[in-house]
Structure 1
Amino acid sequence: MKDVGGVSGAVRPKYKILQDELSDRIRSGVYRPGQALPPQRKLAASLDVTLMTLRQALRGLSDQGLVVQQPGRGTFVTPPLAAYQVASLRSLADELRAQGRTVTTQVVSVQVRVLPAKVVENLAAGSGARGLRLERIRAVDGRLAVHQVSWVPEPFASVIRHVDFEVTPLYQALAELCGAAIASAAESFRPEKVTPRAGEILRLPAGSPVFASERVTKGVDSAVLVYDQATIDGSRLSIRAERLAHSISLSWNVSG
């Protein structure tokens, strides 16, 4: 562990450098969500720091929400559900619920099967790999709005296949049953006309405008957890972007 000077040339406190090092280990998956860190004396010795320095670093990590210190038990990486609750990564359904909308889910089918070629590519799985195919319909304020197919690779697929997804969100099931914390997601949208099957499911006339969404969600170890494909009623939902000098945020709005 090396001291790094700041812009002014001042040497950063050793506990800050250690805090950053441990933070990197957590975010890269060396220490996984819910995992106990080594005992403090052992960890301090392995890092060649004093107990006081280590404890200062752990307090900083605790303030950041990365670890939880449990008296008499030790220090644990924050459990998976905390990562699932990060607002910037919440699902469309979570986004709409946060706006006070009523979102209900109907499960069409749940099955473990051989993954199609496109899904294999997006899940970074091997040829012939199997995974969970979860098909759902979302209604917003009582009106059908979203048809969604989610794919989850093994070993997670077999663990969550019997979950009641009309009650339990997919990300929550992955967090609670598999210890799989959500770290990042990449999503794309294309305006299209509804396909015959999606139109039948969502009860939309032929040629209705929809958004076709694809989302790849990854865990803290950069492994792909979920590949989502969704058809979203463009007459009911719209995307609103808020651009700031330092960031951009996207949200869904309900019309009609």
Structure 2
Amino acid sequence: MITALPRNAGIPLYYQLKTLLREQIRSGVLKPGQKLPNEEQLAAAYQVSLITVRRTLADLAAEGLVRRMQGRGTFVAEPIFAQGPRELTSFTYEMERRGLRASSQVLLKEVIPAPESVAAALQIAPGKAVFHLQRLRLAGGEPMGIQTAHIPLSMAPGLPSEDLERNSLYTVLRRYGIVPAKGREVHSAVLLTAAQARLLGQRRGAPGLAVVRTTYAGDGRPFELVHSVMRGDRYQVVLDLTARFEV
């Protein structure tokens, strides 16, 4: 039930409204993707000015709790997957750790001669056979990213016949004795192409996070080169910095 905010609480009205809406979002009363009432409706419901409502929504947007879309309104933001220094894990593990069911849609799988750039990253001869796998990665049924992997076929000859929609790639690779030991990632900001946007349910030119990862087995051999494009509205990179000089 919506009630007017107390005027004699000694707390600014915009702060009261921001706190109230923030708690409704965090408690699940207002759900991800839900559209909020417009500014005039919020002002009338809580008996505050439009200036108060606009300041409240601006603050919530800055906190990443709501998204303001021109011509459409204000929506509760979907949760963002923050990535910082972390263990080497799979997409499946990362999503399940957050309580989401991970799934995949195989877009392409084939055996191809390794292009020079792929061969260099995997430390194999150009033209050597590699397994080329492209998948749409989903969490809770929602598209999160597109991943394109190249793996030397000699290291896992049976990969082309594996069911990689039902099974985690890393789980399958373990059957071939390949266990990830370390990896190196390079992150870049990109704009989604028309094809990428269509698969991810986004608009063309929307922000994306591109990640290139080379993954190494315990013996030091690179066994996987992955190019990922993740949704920019659902992923961010967080770094903790330590000063090495006096500030």
TM-score, with structure 1 as normaliser: 0.58
The answer for the alignment partner of 1:199 in structure 2 is 197
The answer for the alignment partner of 1:43 in structure 2 is none
8 Å CA contact 1:112, 1:158 repeated in 2: no
- Structure 2: which 5+ runs fail to align? 1-85
The answer for the alignment partner of 2:135 in structure 1 is 136
Of structures 1 and 2, the larger Rg is shown by 2
Aligned pairs for 1:29-40 within 5 A: none
Percent identity, aligned pairs only?
23
The one-letter code matched in structure 2 to 1:119 is: V
The answer for the alignment partner of 1:189 in structure 2 is 187
8 Å CA contact 2:137, 2:146 repeated in 1: yes
Q: Which of these residues, 206, 209, 233, is aligned with residue 208 of structure 1? A: 206
- Give the drift of 1:98: 0.6
- Give the drift of 1:142: 2.2
- Give the drift of 1:199: 1.7
Provide closer, same or farther for how the CA distance between residues 93 and 238 of structure 1 changes in structure 2, counting only shifts above 3 A.
Answer: farther
8 Å CA contact 2:113, 2:126 repeated in 1: no
The answer for the alignment partner of 1:10 in structure 2 is none
8 Å CA contact 1:149, 1:229 repeated in 2: yes
Aligned-residue RMSD, C-alpha: 1.8
Question: SS where residue 174 of structure 1 aligns?
Answer: helix
Question: SS where residue 167 of structure 1 aligns?
Answer: coil
The answer for the alignment partner of 2:109 in structure 1 is 110
- Structure 1: which 5+ runs fail to align? 1-86, 246-256
Distance 1:160 1:215 in 2: 19
- With 188-197 and 216-225 compared, the bigger mean Cα shift is at 188-197
Question: SS where residue 171 of structure 1 aligns?
Answer: helix
4+ residue segments displaced more than 6 Å: none
Distance 1:170 1:181 in 2: 11
- Give the drift of 1:239: 2.8
**What is the aligned residue count?**
158
TM-score, with structure 2 as normaliser: 0.60
The one-letter code matched in structure 2 to 1:218 is: Y
Distance 2:235 2:183 in 1: 21
